[in-house]
Amino acid sequence: MTRAPKAHRSNALPPGAWWIWALGLGTAASRTTNPLLLALLIAVAGYVVAARRTDAPWARSYTAFVKLGIAVLGIRLAFAVFLGSPIPGTHLLVTLPELPLPHWAQGIRVGGRVTAEGLLFALYDGLKLATLLICVGAANALANPARLLKSLPGALYEAGVAVVVALTFAPNLIADVQRLRAARRLRGRPDRGLRGLLHVGLPVLEGALERSVALAAAMDARGYGRTAEVAPAVRRTTTVLTLGGLLGVCAGTYGVLTAEGGTYGLPVLLAGVAAALGGLWLGGRRSVRTRYRPDVWGVRAWLVTGSGVAVAAGLIVSAAYDAASLSPGVVPLTAPALPLWPAAAILLGLLPAFVAPTPHSREPSTPKDPS
């Protein structure tokens, strides 16, 4: 494949491609508790973010999601130590003082025996959730939220504004905290501890409020909220298709992700997606807005999207045929093995690091001729 071009406005990947890729990695993480596969997913997401993120404010949020994943993992292990684990074990690590509880709290304990099996089960479970958070952080770091809002269907534009503002809040908040802490350090003032938190937190909240007011004023100036009149029958049909489609998507997704719904899950999911798309198409007729420079899904965008879908499909198929390798047991206590085919499917997620356009800051500079 030819070398990836330098990114600019005309060839930048649509944000939906990055979200589909990240959701594919997250779907793969939801199908396994094997720590080796989860660590491989984290490595793939981290490598792609390091290779293709820009210097935009939202691109700096990935580190915060990684720290959040580590915190979730630590909390899950702490719960297993102090509140016990449902997994019985024979390899005793330590015995903590146990707090006596009343009879109505049977099945719950505080303290007591801490076994290696229970701790390992908590580690697998917490690492799974941490991987999901890191995959979401990768999408936040790579996808432009403003372009994501522009690419939404007309029927979802109002809800999309709220979602995009929510997704933008965390990266902007982190950027403001870093900027204010750096300014306080330059002035020789403390930026840590309770005192530093109070002096940094108030300006950050004030800046967030100012951005919200400016966004509301800009939306009002552009005539946001104007809708076209449609027939009552079209409105009712739109409501039925949209709500029925979303219910079908929820039921179908539950069936796909559980072993009991293997027969009905996929057909219900496809029917729900079709109904929801029909409802969105009809609902878009109420929107009178137009799109300036709509995003074009080129070959590279489809390759990025396909790599995420391939990772998810590979893990789903592997879970159906070899569930033991994707969910290693802890009783008896054994070391997890790395299954080759699922690992090869996860490595397909590295494709965006080679086919996506290279950001300007990542492009190596060419030395000038001294002559």
Residue where a domain terminates, one of 286, 308, 328: 286
| Whether residue 308 sits in one domain with residue 256 | no
Residue where a domain terminates, one of 241, 266, 286: 286
| Whether residue 276 sits in one domain with residue 260 | yes
Only one residue has tokens 């007011």, namely 213
- Answer whether residue 371 shows pLDDT above 60: no
- Answer whether residue 224 shows pLDDT above 70: no
Note the pLDDT of residue 25: 94
Convert the pLDDT of each residue in 229-286 to its tens digit: 767 787 788 778 888 888 888 888 877 766 565 577 778 888 888 888 887 777 766 6
| Whether residue 242 sits in one domain with residue 120 | no
CA–CA gap between residue 121 and residue 68 (Å, rounded): 20
| Whether residue 138 sits in one domain with residue 33 | yes
Convert the pLDDT of each residue in 41-79 to its tens digit: 999 999 999 988 887 766 777 888 999 999 999 999 988
pLDDT class of 364 with cuts at 50, 70, 90: very low
Q: Is residue 191 included in any domain, yes or no?
A: no
| Whether residue 298 sits in one domain with residue 282 | no
The CA angle 160-170-190, to the nearest 5 degrees, is 160
Using DSSP, state whether 309 is helix, strand or coil.
Answer: helix
Number of residues in the chain: 371
| Whether residue 95 sits in one domain with residue 34 | yes
Note the pLDDT of residue 112: 77
Q: Is residue 78 included in any domain, yes or no?
A: yes
Q: Is residue 199 included in any domain, yes or no?
A: no
Convert the pLDDT of each residue in 294-329 to its tens digit: 667 788 889 999 999 999 999 988 888 888 888 888
Q: For residue 6, report the phi and psi dihedrals to the nearest 5 degrees.
A: -75, 140
CA dihedral 197, 199, 204, 209 (to 10 degrees): 120
| Whether residue 69 sits in one domain with residue 37 | yes
| Whether residue 306 sits in one domain with residue 282 | no
Q: Give the residue with greater pLDDT, 17 vs 151.
A: 17
Q: Is residue 175 included in any domain, yes or no?
A: no
The CA angle 24-30-33, to the nearest 5 degrees, is 130
Q: Give the residue with greater pLDDT, 16 vs 4.
A: 16
Task: Give the pLDDT mean for 124-146.
Answer: 88
Q: Is residue 211 included in any domain, yes or no?
A: no
| Whether residue 354 sits in one domain with residue 262 | no
Distances, alpha carbon 318 to alpha carbons 87, 310, 323, in Å: 25, 12, 7
Task: Give the pLDDT mean for 102-116.
Answer: 75
Residue 129's domain comprises 15-151+294-358
Q: What is the domain count for the chain?
A: 2
| Whether residue 141 sits in one domain with residue 42 | yes
Q: Is residue 235 included in any domain, yes or no?
A: yes
Q: Is residue 245 included in any domain, yes or no?
A: yes
Give the range among 111-120, 211-220, 229-238, 274-283 with minimum mean pLDDT. 211-220
| Whether residue 140 sits in one domain with residue 232 | no
Residue where a domain terminates, one of 248, 265, 286: 286
Q: Is residue 158 included in any domain, yes or no?
A: no
| Whether residue 135 sits in one domain with residue 108 | yes
Alpha helices in 258-368 (DSSP H): 265-283, 299-321, 323-326, 340-347, 352-355
Q: Give the residue with greater pLDDT, 363 vs 136.
A: 136
